[in-house]
Structure 1
């Protein structure tokens, strides 16, 4: 019989002996998904920065543009049909391709509501926006949020709608009638203030109008609204300054003075790079300031001379035509009164009208020619 007790005792002692520890594996973590590359991180950061910058522009524009209160509840505009002279091609060039007509309709009073305008912007219902523009324009420039800001916040997909709204505002400035400006009722003033705020937002956000409306149309419309609202003080002061300068043109340089006045006024409203974009508007304004200064002298010498409305300022050749019409009326109705006009003023007036009437030249060329004639006394 085998005695295995010794072997079993040895085996028991072996099991109690601890096994040596194995060497740990080297640390090598493995990610289930790779980290983005530096280029991807940069693109994502740039995209987020652009979004934040755009939001900041909108917020700062709303805070700074509306420096005068808008009409909280503008008076209802009467429904009217489109002008007889307007054509389908004009509407197409202005509004682009017409969107699909939505089911939004008029309320019981035959008027649209602000929420319907916002819904039309969402759905790109250009036809409804056109109808609102023709019948209730104030809905496009008032409300909370402003329709333009609402369209901008919807992003790139609604950029064309924002451009359409800006184009409608620019057209409204040009279509404001002389009677409306002469009466300047509270409703007209509220609309102009709303236009100024909206155009300021569009300029701050660097929105541009379609090419067929001109690159400077937005800036020019903004400046024109300011003239309509609060340009009287600037124009009256400038007219008085130029009327004095024109009495001694060689020493006072009236055209050069008008250029400085215009640049100073425009620079107060626009940034430097934007001022360079409205050189034609500035040149037109310089010519108008000179004519207003001359007409102020005419009124001092000829009491029968009628006043020129200040809202004609920088609106194409409105000032020039107004001067020519009033001179023609004086020749027809009061030739004796017109004969009291000094020979110097007659010569200056004839020279200015002749040069500014040369529409084959651009604005800067006409102003330079006028400067040589009046400031330097050269024959042109």
Structure 2
């Protein structure tokens, strides 16, 4: 198709100049396509929600008063006469019935059955040399202290490490048995002299594993060592740090309670662990211990105003035992807490409860969220 517009315009200009001035040809618009922006992916939205939702909840907690309870009157009337009514079963009461450690101790102290005879130390060393894992596991279940006993100048773990790389897997299995014993240790057994002796021997063996670099293959080795150290000799240190964190919590955000707790744990770990990469492997333990110090410190302040039970210090940095114990006590004394505690402490209670509850978020992430609120936030 031919465009004759120019010819027609020239004719019009020739016969009607005024008309030509009135009619102006439009400039051709250049193509400029516009594409809509791509919507974010579901994964991106999920990450944003997980990151921002806790912050929004905490901002709302800071602005809102302590929520009233529908059972306030009931608790007010019954708290003095029935202080333990409605309390959820604590960790210790639940573990008394079905604790693997109780059965472990029972088996160790009971008479041998089915032809079992407690082996001699040389038999344990021979099992290490032969990589007789089944025998070592049977010793773990029936006579655990034999795995820690020093004979001559070596323990079974040290003997396996001295043999060399070929027996590294045996050493890792022994370390796993040590960690298992710590994790299943009963609350009622911790104060016994026999348990103290085992904890001391465990600490020595675990430190050997760290010095030999086995923590690179056994991820929870360093944490188990720190747990053993705290359980055997760390009670005085815990009480001192709880006092420091309590003072920081009283000062609000200016006291930097989260930073105070984390710095104390890191200083303690650095003192006991000389290897920098071993300390780096301790991050989960540091985060767990930091949150526990905050909970212990907050509850220590509350005990100045209410008559309640302290949280056992041997729960310290053992998963969520301190948090469960904290929530048991808060639920038991919630009426008194609403009446007597300061506005700031009640807000700190709500922050700790909302952030630390659940296991879907790592302890390190929980510490970051609590830091943003209790250290860097606007405060109450």
Q: Please indicate, yes or no, whether the TM-score normalized by the shorter chain is above 0.5.
A: yes
Q: How many residues align?
A: 269
Instruction: Name the residue aligned to 2:143.
Output: 136
Choose which of 125, 143, 147 in structure 2 pairs with 1:118: 125
Report the 3-state secondary structure (helix = DSSP H, G, I; strand = E; otherwise coil) of the residue aligned with 1:300. Answer: coil
Q: Tell me the distance in 1 between the aligned counterparts of 2:126 and 2:362.
A: 44
Question: Are residues 286 and 337 of structure 1, via their aligned partners in 2, closer, same or farther at CA, if it must alter by over 3 Å?
Answer: closer
Question: Are residues 266 and 375 of structure 1, via their aligned partners in 2, closer, same or farther at CA, if it must alter by over 3 Å?
Answer: same
Q: Does 1:372 align with 2:372?
A: yes
The 5 Å alignment of 1:32-47 reads: none
Report the 3-state secondary structure (helix = DSSP H, G, I; strand = E; otherwise coil) of the residue aligned with 2:199. Answer: helix
Q: Does 1:272 align with 2:279?
A: no
Instruction: Name the residue aligned to 1:226.
Output: 229
After superposition, what is the alpha-carbon deviation per residue over 1:36-66, rounded to whole angstroms, capped at 9, x for unaligned?
A: xxxxxxxxxxxxxxxxxxxxxxxxxxxxxxx
Instruction: Name the residue aligned to 1:309.
Output: 312
State whether residues 216 and 278 of structure 1, in contact with CA within 8 Å, keep that contact through their aligned partners in structure 2.
no
Choose which of 156, 176, 182 in structure 2 pairs with 1:147: 156
Question: Are residues 153 and 336 of structure 1, via their aligned partners in 2, closer, same or farther at CA, if it must alter by over 3 Å?
Answer: closer
State whether residues 245 and 252 of structure 1, in contact with CA within 8 Å, keep that contact through their aligned partners in structure 2.
yes
Instruction: Name the residue aligned to 2:293.
Output: 289
- What RMSD, in angstroms, separates the aligned Cα atoms of the two structures? 2.2
TM-score (ref. length: structure 1):
0.67
The 5 Å alignment of 1:60-139 reads: 77-79=108-110, 106=116, 110-139=117-146
Cα displacement (A) at 1:253: 0.9
Choose which of 226, 232, 252 in structure 2 pairs with 1:249: 252
Q: Tell me the distance in 2 between the aligned counterparts of 1:118 and 1:132.
A: 12
Cα displacement (A) at 1:338: 5.4
Q: Tell me the distance in 1 between the aligned counterparts of 2:216 and 2:183.
A: 15
Q: Does 1:299 align with 2:306?
A: no
Q: Tell me the distance in 2 between the aligned counterparts of 1:156 and 1:277.
A: 22
Q: Tell me the distance in 2 between the aligned counterparts of 1:130 and 1:365.
A: 36
Cα displacement (A) at 1:327: 1.2
State whether residues 166 and 209 of structure 1, in contact with CA within 8 Å, keep that contact through their aligned partners in structure 2.
no
Question: Are residues 371 and 337 of structure 1, via their aligned partners in 2, closer, same or farther at CA, if it must alter by over 3 Å?
Answer: closer
Cα displacement (A) at 1:363: 2.0
Cα displacement (A) at 1:242: 1.0
Instruction: Name the residue aligned to 1:362.
Output: 362
Cα displacement (A) at 1:134: 0.5
After superposition, what is the alpha-carbon deviation per residue over 1:107-133, rounded to whole angstroms, capped at 9, x for unaligned?
A: xxx322111111111222211111110
Q: Tell me the distance in 1 between the aligned counterparts of 2:119 and 2:305.
A: 54
TM-score (ref. length: structure 2):
0.67
Choose which of 175, 182, 185 in structure 2 pairs with 1:173: 182
Q: Tell me the distance in 1 between the aligned counterparts of 2:362 and 2:260.
A: 20
State whether residues 200 and 232 of structure 2, in contact with CA within 8 Å, keep that contact through their aligned partners in structure 1.
yes
Question: Are residues 373 and 191 of structure 1, via their aligned partners in 2, closer, same or farther at CA, if it must alter by over 3 Å?
Answer: same
Q: Structure 1: which 5+ runs fail to align?
A: 1-75, 82-104
Choose which of 185, 189, 201 in structure 2 pairs with 1:194: 201
Choose which of 311, 324, 329 in structure 2 pairs with 1:326: 329
State whether residues 166 and 199 of structure 1, in contact with CA within 8 Å, keep that contact through their aligned partners in structure 2.
yes
Instruction: Name the residue aligned to 2:264.
Output: 261
Q: Does 1:163 align with 2:172?
A: yes
Q: Tell me the distance in 2 between the aligned counterparts of 1:284 and 1:78.
A: 34
Instruction: Name the residue aligned to 2:345.
Output: 345
Cα displacement (A) at 1:157: 2.4
Q: Tell me the distance in 2 between the aligned counterparts of 1:267 and 1:209.
A: 18
Q: Tell me the distance in 2 between the aligned counterparts of 1:259 and 1:325.
A: 25
Q: Tell me the distance in 1 between the aligned counterparts of 2:149 and 2:200.
A: 10
Question: Are residues 264 and 209 of structure 1, via their aligned partners in 2, closer, same or farther at CA, if it must alter by over 3 Å?
Answer: closer
Q: Tell me the distance in 2 between the aligned counterparts of 1:218 and 1:306.
A: 32
After superposition, what is the alpha-carbon deviation per residue over 1:22-45, rounded to whole angstroms, capped at 9, x for unaligned?
A: xxxxxxxxxxxxxxxxxxxxxxxx
State whether residues 152 and 158 of structure 1, in contact with CA within 8 Å, keep that contact through their aligned partners in structure 2.
yes
Q: Tell me the distance in 1 between the aligned counterparts of 2:248 and 2:281.
A: 28
Q: Which has the higher contact order (CA 8 A, sep 6+)?
A: 2
Q: Tell me the distance in 2 between the aligned counterparts of 1:246 and 1:155.
A: 50
Q: Tell me the distance in 2 between the aligned counterparts of 1:325 and 1:138.
A: 34
State whether residues 252 and 344 of structure 2, in contact with CA within 8 Å, keep that contact through their aligned partners in structure 1.
no
Q: Structure 2: which 5+ runs fail to align?
A: 1-106
